[in-house]
Amino acid sequence: MVDSSSDLMTKYGSECVCPKCPSFTICAKMRWQSIFCLAGKSPTDCIRVERGCLCPECPVASALGKDKQYYCMYNV
Ligand code: SF4
Ligand code: SF4
Say what the pLDDT of residue 1 is: 64
Q: What is the pTM for the complete model shown? A: 0.94
The full DSSP string for 50-72 is -S---GGG-HHHHHHT-----TT
Calpha distance 16→10 (Å, rounded) = 11
What residues line ligand 2, using a CB cutoff of 6 Å? 16-18, 34-37, 54-55, 58, 60-61, 66, 71
Mean pLDDT for back-to-back runs of 10 residues, the chain (76 residues): 84 95 98 96 98 97 96 95
Pocket probe for ligand 2: among 14, 15, 71, 73, the residue whose CB has the most ligand atoms within 8 Å is 71
Say what the pLDDT of residue 18 is: 98
Say what the pLDDT of residue 38 is: 94
Residues 6+ apart with CB under 8 A from 36: 18, 42, 71, 72
Residues 6+ apart with CB under 8 A from 74: 41
